[in-house]
Amino acid sequence: MPTINSKLPGVGTTIFTVMSRMASDVGAINLSQGFPDFNVPPGLLASLHTHLDADHHQYAPMAGLPELCEAIAGKTRRLYCREIDALTEVTVTSGATSALFTAIEACAGPGDEVIVLDPAYDSYDPAIRLAGATPVHVPLLPGSFAIDFDRLASAMTSRTRMLVMNTPHNPTGAVVTADELDQLAGLLRKTNVIVLSDEVYEHMFFEADRHASLSAHAELATRSLVVSSFGKTYHCTGWKVGYVIAPQELMAEFRRVHQFVQFCVATPLQHALADYLESDPGHYENLPAFYRIKRDQFCTLLGESRFNLSPSAGTYFQLADYSEISDASDMEFSEWLTREAGVACIPVSVFQRTRAPDQRLVRFCFAKHEATLEQAAERLCAI
């Protein structure tokens, strides 16, 4: 048996796989991994069937079907008042995780530092290290999980190549404001730092009037790669289709790597998504209200529980403080909750390099049918 010098020593199976498998093994309600238990919009499925029957089964263009890229450009224009070139500034990817990996691989390398804001989605750090760069973890402000601009400024050096943003934020549900984007623009103005903005939950914001996208910020857009996800928007996480928007120079570098990571994305899926983006913009326009109702329902259902909740400002995740229930670590508590109470969650510490000693937080996904949430809440309130 040949020996292997691991590029990611100490990295095991992702927590999402671990908790979903545990939930399946013990028959728990799975509020851990972020996927809906309701169906893809019927109009999107109908369009997919049409294109499957039309024999759209060969390679799509490397950057994406022109129809889909044009539809993405149109959506960006409608939502963020930004004109982009569908030919040179949009690339369709096999989900957002692939887009994030490709962007980091394309833009960072040995000698570079890449800043991530903790808590941070668990794919960022490994992708940075696989690129040969050094991850620099900067904690968000405790409680609010807003950007700590003083700590961010202190973390930046001449080696800082990239900053990874995530808004709305997984796992905390925090959202970045337009004022914070202005502050970030001022901080980066005299630097060569690239921003990688993970905006897969762009249509799930509950308190603000609109999502503060880096695509809508004239200054930041010129140095940013913005990642989005059709899987999150259209309840089809298993399709693994996303996209990236970036200025031409950054996109050219992105595509140099993209073509060797995946080359192209499933052709019939792209046709269907192109049709549906144009025919039913109301779906993503109504998504904030749709998920706000689910958030409010979940928080209300847990109102009589021993969990302490501050309603999420975005995403389809809700943090819950369990300090009144247990002093166990969040990993131990999550395993106990899954096995003994029958509800699976995610421990927030897996997203952090460091955390406050008294932090007792877990993350629940509320992208579920009303009956699922009611059943889960009944079990959680019984603790």
Residue 139 lies in a domain: yes
The whole-number average pLDDT for the span 102-112 is: 98
Looking at the structure, tell me whether residues 25 and 76 fall in a common domain.
no
pTM, entire model: 0.96
Residue 48 lies in a domain: no
Looking at the structure, tell me whether residues 29 and 72 fall in a common domain.
no
3-state secondary structure (DSSP) of residue 377: helix
Neighbour-count burial of 192, counting CB atoms closer than 10 A to its CB (0-12 exposed, 13-18 middle, 19+ buried): exposed
pLDDT at residue 122, rounded to an integer: 92
pLDDT at residue 353, rounded to an integer: 87
* Residue 305 half-sphere exposure toward CB, CA atoms < 13 A: 23
Looking at the structure, tell me whether residues 181 and 66 fall in a common domain.
yes
Neighbour-count burial for 157-173, b at 16+ CB within 10 Å, e otherwise: eeebbbbbbbbbbbbbb
Residue 10 lies in a domain: no
How high does pLDDT run on average in the chain? 96
Choosing from 232, 249, 280, the residue where a domain stops is 280
Angle between the N-to-C axes of helices 66-80 and 267-279, in degrees from 0 to 180, rounded to the nearest 10 = 40
The answer to whether the CB of 364 falls within 8 A of the CB of 334 is no
Residues 6+ apart with CB under 8 A from 323: 308, 358, 360
Q: Grade residue 151 by pLDDT with cuts at 50, 70 and 90.
A: very high
The whole-number average pLDDT for the span 93-105 is: 97
CATH assignment at residue 29: 3.90.1150.10
Looking at the structure, tell me whether residues 202 and 269 fall in a common domain.
yes
Written as one letter, the residue type at 354 is: T
Choosing from 247, 280, 313, the residue where a domain stops is 280
Looking at the structure, tell me whether residues 353 and 311 fall in a common domain.
yes
Residues 6+ apart with CB under 8 A from 333: 322, 325, 326, 347, 360, 362
Looking at the structure, tell me whether residues 352 and 213 fall in a common domain.
no
Looking at the structure, tell me whether residues 318 and 214 fall in a common domain.
no
3-state secondary structure (DSSP) of residue 319: strand
Strand ranges (E), the chain: 29-30, 90-93, 113-118, 134-139, 160-166, 194-198, 224-229, 242-245, 317-321, 343-344, 346-347, 361-365
Choosing from 254, 280, 306, the residue where a domain stops is 280
Length of the chain: 383
pLDDT tens digit string along 248-276? 999 999 999 999 999 999 999 999 999 99
CATH assignment at residue 210: 3.40.640.10
pLDDT tens digit string along 7-44? 988 888 888 899 999 999 999 999 999 989 999 999 99
Residue 71 lies in a domain: yes
Which residue is associated with the tokens 């039309």? 54
Residue 53 lies in a domain: no
Looking at the structure, tell me whether residues 276 and 290 fall in a common domain.
no
Looking at the structure, tell me whether residues 125 and 143 fall in a common domain.
yes
The answer to whether the CB of 226 falls within 8 A of the CB of 244 is yes
Which residues, in sequence order, are bridge partners of residue 93?
Answer: 242
Neighbour-count burial for 72-89, b at 16+ CB within 10 Å, e otherwise: bbebbeebbebebebebb
Looking at the structure, tell me whether residues 372 and 224 fall in a common domain.
no
CA distance 194 to 160: 9
Looking at the structure, tell me whether residues 95 and 169 fall in a common domain.
yes
Looking at the structure, tell me whether residues 101 and 24 fall in a common domain.
no
Residue 6 lies in a domain: no
Count structural domains, the chain: 2
Q: Grade residue 70 by pLDDT with cuts at 50, 70 and 90.
A: very high
Q: Grade residue 172 by pLDDT with cuts at 50, 70 and 90.
A: very high
Residues of the domain holding 141: 58-280
Instruction: Say if residue 356's pLDDT is above 80.
Output: no
pLDDT tens digit string along 305-320? 999 999 999 999 999 9
Written as one letter, the residue type at 134 is: T
The whole-number average pLDDT for the span 196-215 is: 96
Instruction: Say if residue 59's pLDDT is above 90.
Output: yes
Angle between the N-to-C axes of helices 287-301 and 370-381, in degrees from 0 to 180, rounded to the nearest 10 = 30
Residue 103 lies in a domain: yes
Residue 3 lies in a domain: no
